[in-house]
Amino acid sequence: MVPAAHEASQRPVARILVVEDEVLIRVEVADALRQAGYEVIEAGCAAEAQAYVRGGGGVDLLFSDLRMPGGMNGAQLAGWIRAHAPGVPVILASGDAGPAEIGVADAFLAKPYDIGQAVGSVARLLAAAEG
């Protein structure tokens, strides 16, 4: 069966991996991204995000908190993602980050950030990656 013309021309939905240990922030970001039309995978820590990717889950963009509990922070997760999924843009967010940590990201959002700013950053990075 051949898809209808309008179905064939539709772009696939981008998958955003949101990694944030603060549940309320994670839910707010994830909901806003879903409302913007993205598929969102939520993880509470780097280990959960790694398990998703190792399990074959696709990622088009990583949106991660910098400071998280566990053995890996957001900057280290960004490096791991780049090694396992080259070309995936990374947005890091934090209330306290140094220049070296920010430098590993394609975009940085200082907490508290505006949710519209977060969604806009995702859209810009995905458009640039397609470009």
CATH number of the domain where residue 63 is located = 3.40.50.2300
Answer yes or no: is 3 within a domain: no
Condensed to tens digits (0 to 9), the pLDDT of residues 27-81 reads 999 999 999 999 999 999 999 999 999 999 999 999 999 999 888 999 999 999 9
Answer yes or no: is 2 within a domain: no
53 close to 15: Cβ distance less than 8 angstroms: no
37 close to 31: Cβ distance less than 8 angstroms: no
Residues 6 or more apart in contact with residue 35 via CB below 8 angstroms: none
Answer yes or no: is 18 within a domain: yes
Residues 6 or more apart in contact with residue 21 via CB below 8 angstroms: 44, 45, 65, 68, 69
The residue length of the chain stands at: 131
The CA distance from 93 to 4, in Å, is 41
Answer yes or no: is 71 within a domain: yes
Total domains in the fold of the chain: 1
Condensed to tens digits (0 to 9), the pLDDT of residues 97-118 reads 665 667 789 999 999 999 999 9
Name the residue range of residue 54's domain.
Answer: 12-130
pTM above 0.95, yes or no: no
